[in-house]
Every structure is written in structure tokens, then in C-alpha cells.
Structure 1
Amino acid sequence: MTDTKSARIYFGGVPVDRHLSVRIRELAASVVTELSAQLSAYASLPEEELRGDITQTTRTCIRLFTHMLRTGEPPAHGQLRELRESAGQRADEGVPLEALIDAYHLGAEVCVDRVIATVEPGDLPAILTVQRLLLRYLRTIISEVSAGYLEARLAAIHEEQDARRAMLSALLTASPAEIAARRAAVRLPASYAVISLEIAPHPDELNPAVDALVAARRKLRRIRTELEGGAPAVVLHGLSPDGGLVLVPLDDAVGARPTENLAERSWGALSSLVGQLGRAARAEITGGVVPARPDAVAPAARLATEICQIARVSGRPAGIYQLGDVAFDYQLTRPGPARDYLASRLQPLANRPDLLETLRVFLACGLDRRRAAGRLHVHPNTVDYRVRKASALTGLDPTSSGDLPMIHAAFTAHAADAGGLN
């Protein structure tokens, strides 16, 4: 029944708030027992904490609901500070948010089960009133608890990210990384796979009907999620939507020399990782990788970036490459008079992009005129004509075994100049 004069709610002739207030300690103990019995996240907490902070927070929750039963009003923001701070502590302890929210609902369930046993046949209106108040109460405190949890979790994430960025910076500047590693709570491995990535635009970034900045951020978030969730060890990274550096700890003790190849197992894992990143990004990703010990990450990063650039400008497909994969092109792209000379052999085609592209595709198709024609969407006779015209202008004949290596080298040097390789 409900006393309309005082607006108090009764079960079995006794105010419901009194049913709760006289049994706060008993109810809180029962709730904590059920939390540790039914929720694994709470079962793993120390007994001292369960009987201390969590029991105290449970008592506070019961008192706040008792007050709401008397007044009909939900707790004010200032009254919820303790619950907010307690939620922050659960975040620091690694209790999942879903477990925390489940705990509040389980606590409400335990308390309701205890007092519902006192109801009488005429108490149905009172039961409905209590139900409405309980739902409103849960909505109020869950909102505050979630905010407190997320505030603490975001602060911890930012602190963790700052520490890892500092560790990455120390490695890239050849500074002692041991202190930064301790602050980041990251074990410094024997060696890293230093990976430089170039990330192609997602189709949405090129769609004028879509905000390109938003599409780029979404792409980057998917890549970071894949990196942070798919690796067995802590992966350091400094990425933008266009690319950046990734440091993957290696089990193999490699990296004494920049020319050293990765072990087959590590190479397979890294190839798989870059493929997964590309699928997550829904964009092509090209990478260059160099194994390095922690004190040699800085020069390895520079070399990995060059390998990545060479793989791109030489027209290789998306994927990951070591120095051995691009060694010939790497040497050809070193700045100097030889590269300048090689690039100049294609200069006569500078104003004829159709001839330059036809010659490039003709080479890529293994000198097969029909395949080249299909790729260029022209007649095979057009390919023949353009190749002959390019040969006449450059003095280089792709069908000549003597000229073919020179043409390949000229394209590599030309691509290096166009791609800004220094």
C-alpha cells in the first residue's frame, strides 16, 4: 500500500525504505557475496577490497535508494561522487565496464528479492511504484558510474600512450630507452622489426560526397585497433592516415646488420600482419622492414623508409619488403651522376606521357604486346607504334637484350626522381 498523506511506500504495512535501512549492513554483505560468486571480475579482487571499498560503496547505494524511496527524488550529482570515484578505481584495476554495470544491477536484484518477500496481496500498486523508482535510480547512478569509469580509463589510456610515445621517441633519437621502457611498463626486446608504412587512401577519402578527414580518421583508428589487439607483445607506433613507423618486438635475436634477413617465421608473421592491416584499413599498404637492436632503431627506421619508398616508386604491389627484395633498385636510386644519367635516358618522353606509360606497361607485361594492349585498353598495333616511337626518341630498344637492362634501370632512376628519393 501507499500512504498518500506522507507519500511513503509500504510493503506488508512497513515502509519499504525502513525494510532497507534497518538491514543495510546485512544486505550489503549479501550483495558482495553474490558479486564474488557470480561475476568473475569481482571474484578475482582481493578479499580486503571486497570487504572494504566495495562493501562501503554498496552500503552507500542502498542508503541513496532508501532516501529516494522516502522523497521520490533521485540522488543529486553531489551525492554520487563516492560512486563515481569507486568506478574510477574499478577502471584502474581493470574491471570491465560491463562487469561494473552488471554489478549494480545484480545488487539491485539481491535487495529487491529480500524485500519483495514482505509484500501482501494489496501491495501491487506499491510494487509498481518501487519498480518505477528503481529504474529511475539505476538510470541515474549507471550514468554517473559510467562517466566516472570512462574518465579514469581515458586518463589511463592517455598516460599509457604518452609513455609509449616517449619510448618510441627515445628509440628513434638513439637515446637510452631503458628508462622510457620502464615508465611505459614495456619490456625492451632483444630486437625489433622496424617497419615503415605507406597507406593508400580509402575510397571514401577520394569521394567528394564524404568528409575525407573523417574517412581518414576512421581508417587510422581501424589500423591502430588491429595493431594493438592483434599482436602478442606491445607494438610501438607513430602513424598518420598516410603512414608512419611501427616497431614490432621480435623473438629472434637479429638486427646486428641492416642487411640481415628476418627468420622465416618472423617474416611470415610480419607479412600476415601487414595484410591484416590492409584489410582493416580497406586500403593498400606498402611497407619496408629492417631488423634492428634497440640501440640501432634510428638508422633502421631511415633505411626502412627508403625501402618502402623504393617499393612504391618501382611499382611493386602492396605488401612488405626487405632490403634484399629491392637491393638492385636501392642501389640504382642512390643520388649521384649515374642516377641522373639513367633518368635522363627517358627525358625525350617527358612531353609524351602516352609513350612513357606504354613503354612501362610493355615492360611490366614481359614484352607481350597483347597483354600490354589489354591493360592499356588499346589495339596491339597501337602498342607496337608507341614502342617504336619511344625507341626512336630515346635510342633504346626494349626488344634488344643489350638495351633492356638499361631501360629497366632508367625507369627505376626516373621513378626515384619523380618520387622524391634522395
Structure 2
Amino acid sequence: MSDSDAVRAITERCERRLNEIARRITATELASVPGLRELPREARDTELAASVRHGLRLFLRLARGEDVPGSRGIDHFRERAAVHAEEGIALSAVIRGHLVCSQALWSALQECARPEESTALLRLADQLLAAQARVLGEVTDTYAATRAVLESERQEELRALARALLAGTLPVERCFELGVTDGGLVIALHLAQLGSAVAAQRRLRRLRTDVERLAGARPLIHFEDPRGGQGHVVLPQGPGGGGEVPGELAARLERGLGESTHLAWAEAAGLEGIAPAARTAAEVLRVVRSLGRPPGAYSLDDVLLEYHLSRPGESGRALAGVLDPVSGHPQLMETLRAYLDEGQDRRATAERLALHPNTVDNRIGRVRALTGVDASTPHGFARLLAALVARDLRSEPSSRTPR
């Protein structure tokens, strides 16, 4: 008898016992696989058993050289892999299920083979290994692709929920999904724009990990553009302890991401306070970036005057206009800024700008002549300082450098 004839004989004997072998695999081998043994009885006895019979019959017919259409062949395993991914069955359980089925089939083939058919049995072993490699490759790829689609859909759903939460339009019943019904700590932050989507996703994962480690709570993170720009982090039930988490987070992001970051935070006492806290944090972030403040963590208390001056209104525009006569004189603006920063100390200003103190006096006098405001008096100092802040807040963040 040729090897081909022996292969046919072995597989035909095995196929006559197909239902018996399938029942044994389903009841014994697959019942021992964690993740599959927990399936509902109907799923085990019907769907799983049908897949086992299909796999056994498919291999036996292919081993004999019979043609099997794709729709009745390996496509079945792709479909089942997608279903398992949707049901949340672990990939490890799916792979172990295929492996134990292959092992059980090999045992059945040995039982059905006669002593003189050992060479044909080895041919079947080679075919079984090749089939196993192909099936596992297709199953793994299909499972991973399905999980990727499901994860993408989930992330998009979370983005929509987060957007509604921060805008104050999320229904209360949906807030339970996000764990923020008792309020929390809301952080606004600005990240540099990245050109690579992969790099952006890695950065967001690092951000999530760092926040979770620091706060001990799973954060809600929302960026309109995942590649960078302004976004929010919401920590359920904020710590309320003076901003240690934002401060440590800013330092950790700088070390871990190599990126200096501005953070602004505000606390929400309850669910209804999250949207206002998000607006406050976003505005504080805009203020500190417009003023050129160094990277770090800021709260409203850190920029209370500047925040007040940034409010829209006629008085804010008029205050910023006080320095319009000086805006065309860069040296005067530079000297005035240094003079105000140094608390009216002419010598410190001169040293900072590498000027003679008399030059500082002359320039401040020129500012007084142009604006009608004397920077050397308490009232004039306050007026010019407020005017400078109001003017800075009218400019784009990128137009100011940290000082």
C-alpha cells in the first residue's frame, strides 16, 4: 500500500469516528481550558462542538487531497475568532483551544493507524503541524483586528462622553460610566504637536500611566487632537490637597517625555462643577502661556490678578491701551518690563539689561512722557504693571517667551 493510500485509509477510519471524537474533545479537552470552560452550556454544547466537528472534518478531507471551498474551510475559524473577540474571550484561551484540539486529533489519528502505516502517520503529523500554523495565524490576525476595531470604537465613545462632560451636557446617568459623579480635579494642559500618530498615542499612554500612578485613580483624558494641543485630564474625587498631583505630574512629564509642559488645575466639588472647573483651568492655562510663565503647574490663586485682568470688557481694553504710545519702541518696552519685574530698582534693572543706571532713568522718563504715567510712584507702578499684563494677555502664547 502506498503512503497516499495509507493516509486515505487512516483519515477515513478517523472520519467514521468523527462525532465520537468531537464529543470527547468538547467534553474533556476543551472543558479544561480556562476561558472556554466558563462559556454557557449552550455555547459549549452547540457552537463549540460544531466548530470542533468542522475542524476535524476539514483537516481529514484536506489530508486526503480533497478540495474544500474557502467558505466551508478556514473562513469558519476567522468568523469564530471575530465572535470570540467581540465576546471578550481571551486570545490565550482561543489559541489554547486550537492547540488542544490539534493534540486530541493527533491522538485519534494514532489510534486509527495500523502498525504498517507509520510512514503515512508521519506525513499526517507534518500536515497537522502545517495546518495548525496556518489556522493559528489567521485566528490571531482576525482576533487582533477585531479587538482593534472594538477598542477604536470604545475610545471614540469615551472621547464623545468626555467632550460632553467637560461641556456640561452629559446626562447624569452616563456620568456613572466615567466615575466622576462626585466631582474631581480637572487639569488643563498643553502638549507639543507631534507629526506621528504612533508617537502621539505612546505619549497619551505615558500620560495616562503617570497620572494613574501619581493619583491612584484612573484618569479621564480628552484631547480634541490626539497629536497635541490643549486637552484636559479629569481625576475622579480630586485630592484637594494644594495641587501636589499637578505639580508632580508636570515634573514627571518633563522627565519622561522630554517635554516641558504647562498645567493648570481647578477642583470641582461635585458633578455640576466639572464643566466650570474645566473652563477655569483652560483660562488659567491660556493666561500663564500668554504671559510667558515657565512650564509648571498653576492654579487660579497663582495668577489671580492676571486672570481678573484677562476678563473681556471695556476697562481691560482701555488698560491695555495705556502702553500703545510705547509699543513702537522695543527698547522702552524692554526696559519698562525689567523695571517693573525688579520692583522699581533702577540698579537691578541696569544690571539685568547691561545698561548704565542713568540710561534706565532716561528710558523710564521717556515712558512717563509718552504715557503720562509715572512708574516711580506706587499708583503709577500698579497702573503700568496692570497695563503690561493686560497687553500680554492680548497676544498669542507663542509671542511671549518664559521669564
Instruction: Report the counterpart of residue 400 of structure 2 in structure 1.
Output: none
2:275 pairs with one of 298, 307, 311? 298
| Alignment partner, residue 218 of structure 1 | 198
Q: Greater shift after overlay, 382-391 or 89-98?
A: 382-391
SS in 2 for 1:317: coil
Separation in 2, partners of 1:156, 1:57: 24
2:306 to 326, 329, 343: 329
Match of 2:401 in 1: none
State the match for 1:237 in structure 2: 222
| Structure 1, 346-355 or 237-246: larger mean CA deviation | 346-355
- Which is higher, the Rg of structure 1 or of structure 2? 2
Deviations 1:22-54 (A, max 9, x none): 2554356447744554x5444554555444433
**Separation in 2, partners of 1:399, 1:25:** 101
Alignment deviations for residues 325-362 of structure 1 (CA, whole Å, 9 cap, x no partner): 22122112223454345434554553455665576578
Deviations 1:295-337 (A, max 9, x none): 3433333222111101212223333322122212211222345
Q: Deviations over 1:128-185 (max 9, x none)?
A: x435433442343234323442454344334433443443344344435134447xx4
Equivalent residues of 1:91, 1:149 under 8 A apart: yes
Do the aligned partners of 2:188 and 2:285 also contact (CA within 8 Å) in 1?
yes
Are 1:196 and 2:169 an aligned pair?
A: no
Once residues 322 and 339 of structure 1 are traced to their aligned partners in structure 2, the CA distance between those partners, rounded to angstroms, is: 22
Amino acid at match of 1:192: G
Amino acid at match of 2:282: T
Greater helix content? 2
Q: Out of 289, 292, 295, which is 1:315 matched to?
A: 292
Percent of aligned positions that are identical: 23
The 3 A distance-change label for structure 1 pair 35 and 284 is farther
Which whole-Å CA distance do the structure 2 matches of 1:383 and 1:112 have between them? Answer: 94
Greater Cα offset, 189-198 or 357-366: 357-366
Structure 1: gaps (5+ residues): 206-211, 253-261, 374-379
SS at match of 1:288: strand
Q: Write the distance in 1 (CA, Å) between the matches of 2:338 and 2:15.
A: 82
Q: CA deviation at 1:72?
A: 6.9
Cα distance in 1 for residues equivalent to 2:379 and 2:364: 13
Tell me: CA distance 1:46–1:329, structure 2 relative to 1, closer, same or farther (3 Å): same
Q: 1:130 aligns with which of 124, 129, 152?
A: 124
Partner in structure 1 of residue 7 of structure 2: 9
Which structure 2 segments of 5+ residues have no match? 398-403
Aligned to 2:367: 394
Q: What residue number does 2:79 align with?
A: 85
Counterpart Cα distance in 2 of 1:369 and 1:199: 35
1:111-260 correspondence to structure 2 within 5 Å: 111-113=105-107, 115=109, 123=118, 127=122, 129-175=123-169, 177-181=171-175, 185-201=177-193, 205=194, 212=195, 215=196, 217-226=197-206, 231=212, 232-233=217-218, 235=220, 237-240=222-225, 241-246=227-232, 248-251=234-237
The 1:123/1:281 distance shift into structure 2, 3 A limit, reads same
CA contact (8 A) 1:196 1:245 kept: yes
1:417 is displaced (CA, Å) by 0.8
1:190-237 residue CA offsets vs partner (Å, 9 max, x unmatched) = 113333322124xxx5xxxxxx3xx2x234312433466664446252
Equivalent position of 2:102 in the other structure: 108
Are the counterparts in 1 of residues 184 and 267 from structure 2 also a CA contact under 8 Å? Answer: yes
Alignment partners' CA distance in 1, 2:244 and 2:45: 50
Q: Would the aligned equivalents of 2:350 and 2:357 in 1 still touch at CA under 8 Å?
A: no
Is the contact between residue 21 and residue 63 of structure 1 (CA under 8 Å) also seen in structure 2? Answer: no
Deviation at 1:393, TM superposition (A): 4.0
Change beyond 3 A, Cα 1:120–1:305: same
**Corresponding residue SS for 1:100:** helix
Query: Is the CA contact 1:356–1:390 (under 8 Å) kept in the aligned structure 2?
Result: no
Count of paired positions = 383
The answer to which of 286-295 and 362-371 deviates more is 362-371
| Corresponding residue of 1:264 | 241
Conserved? CA contact 2:109–2:121, under 8 Å: no
CA spacing shift, 1:362–1:394, aligned 2, 3 Å: closer
The answer to whether the 8 A contact 1:355-1:387 is kept is: no
Q: Hey, what's the Cα distance between the residues in 2 that align with 1:108 and 1:330?
A: 69
Q: In structure 2, how many angstroms separate the alpha carbons of the residues matched to 1:74 and 1:139?
A: 18
Q: Call closer, same or farther: CA 1:136–1:413 in 2, change over 3 Å.
A: same
Alpha-carbon distance in structure 2 between the residues aligned to 1:138 and 1:385: 88
Q: Does 1:283 align with 2:265?
A: no
